[in-house]
Structure 1
Amino acid sequence: MASLQEQLLKAGLADEKKAKAVRQEKRKKRKQQPKGATEVSESQIRAQQARQEKAERDRQLNLERQKEAEQKAIHAQIRQLIETNRLDRSRGTESYQFVHNKKIKKLLVEPAMVDQLSRGRLAIVCINDQYEVVAEAVARKIMEREETAVVVLHDKPQQSEPEEDDPYAGYEIPDDLMW
């Protein structure tokens, strides 16, 4: 099969002088390039840049998908912890009020639960806009995964030594007063 140059010569669209000049120009370019170097065209450079940009976008998308999958897994773990460890509030007669998202919420619990909630032995957690009461240890596990899921968890009172000249040392202040 004849080259394009030979076909153009046969058709009379190019003459021998121009063909010879083109061959010499190609040869000069080849000689001027160092050995092992290949001529890279602009389109190849653009294509390579496009591949690199696409690979970077793909990496970013994969990172986002991994983060979303991790968030879903954490949410599922929290849901499972709450479902398996929530305390029964069906016989709750006293209301326990607390603040969540700058709003006062009310939860019916048993009288013993009110005392334990105020002492930090129980906690209130929120999942899917539902409030549940769980033990303090479970609430700490939930806090490790996501702190915003735990709505109410009071710190346990520290047993401090009374001062020697404290006139009110004999009077204990109750921390479960209902106003």
Structure 2
Amino acid sequence: MAKPNALQEQLLKAGLAKKAQASAAAREQVKARQGKAPDASADIQREAERVRLEKVERDRAIAAERNAQLRAIEGRAQARQIVQAHAVPHAGESEYRFTHGEVIRTLLIDAKLRKALSAGALVIVAAGESYALLPRAAAEKVRERAPELIAVDHGQAGESTFASTGNAEDDAYYAQFQIPDDLVW
């Protein structure tokens, strides 16, 4: 075993350290010299691997978000192409008013188109700054790709034709009054 150094001898003589502590310290020094001590580079390697895995996961999340944004942009572009290809020409003297967002919009149509809109055979979609009429099949394709473009769809399943006031008593009271079919607002 190695000879204790002068500091160890002084600590032993002063009673500040015990013989067992001195021999344990001497064994650790021998192990460190021989390379048997725990390697500090292993900790550094584990930390580097952890950082690398975090970076890979972060890069994967960023790539997934970027891909989702690209798919959304592509879907909106496809929806615009569908609107351009399948738009039903509309012209007429009768105004059809509808709300899109918080704004009331007006579309000039004839009686035949009004009947098709109310039956749900046609759907109004936003086409840039204007609006277009689409047949139901084309509108469903647009809804799959960009549902925010659909402005009016009277044939959508589960949609009530009457606006609810949120109060069941009021809704029950007003249900007894019939709305005329020819009412245009």
Q: What TM-score comes out, normalization by structure 2 length? A: 0.62
Alignment-derived partner of residue 165 in structure 1: none
1:148 aligns with 2:154: no
Size of the aligned set, in residue pairs, is 137
Let me know the Cα RMSD of the aligned residues.
2.9
Alignment-derived partner of residue 50 in structure 1: 51
Cα distance change on mapping 1:177 and 1:119 into 2, 3 Å: farther
Alignment-derived partner of residue 106 in structure 1: 106
Cα distance change on mapping 1:25 and 1:39 into 2, 3 Å: same
Matches of 1:176 and 1:152, distance apart in 2: 19
Matches of 2:182 and 2:121, distance apart in 1: 13
Equivalent of residue 26 in structure 1, options 13, 32, 41: 32
Q: Shift in Å at residue 61 of structure 1?
A: 0.6
Q: Shift in Å at residue 122 of structure 1?
A: 1.0
Identity %: 31
Q: Secondary structure at the match of 2:132?
A: strand
Alignment-derived partner of residue 10 in structure 1: none
Q: What TM-score comes out, normalization by structure 1 length? A: 0.64
Could you report, residue by residue, the CA deviation over 1:52-106 in whole angstroms, capped at 9, with x for unpaired residues?
Answer: 11111100111001101110121122111101000123x3322110011122111
Matches of 2:182 and 2:54, distance apart in 1: 62
Matches of 2:137 and 2:181, distance apart in 1: 21
Matches of 2:28 and 2:154, distance apart in 1: 87
Q: Shift in Å at residue 127 of structure 1?
A: 3.7
> Residues 66-105 of structure 1: matches in 2 within 5 Å?
66-89=67-90, 91-105=91-105
Q: Shift in Å at residue 112 of structure 1?
A: 2.0
Q: Shift in Å at residue 151 of structure 1?
A: 1.1
Q: Shift in Å at residue 22 of structure 1?
A: 9.5
Long gaps (5+) in structure 1:
1-20, 157-172
Long gaps (5+) in structure 2:
1-26, 157-178
Q: Shift in Å at residue 142 of structure 1?
A: 1.7
Q: Secondary structure at the match of 2:151?
A: strand
Q: Secondary structure at the match of 1:84?
A: helix
Matches of 1:79 and 1:175, distance apart in 2: 33
Alignment-derived partner of residue 65 in structure 2: 64
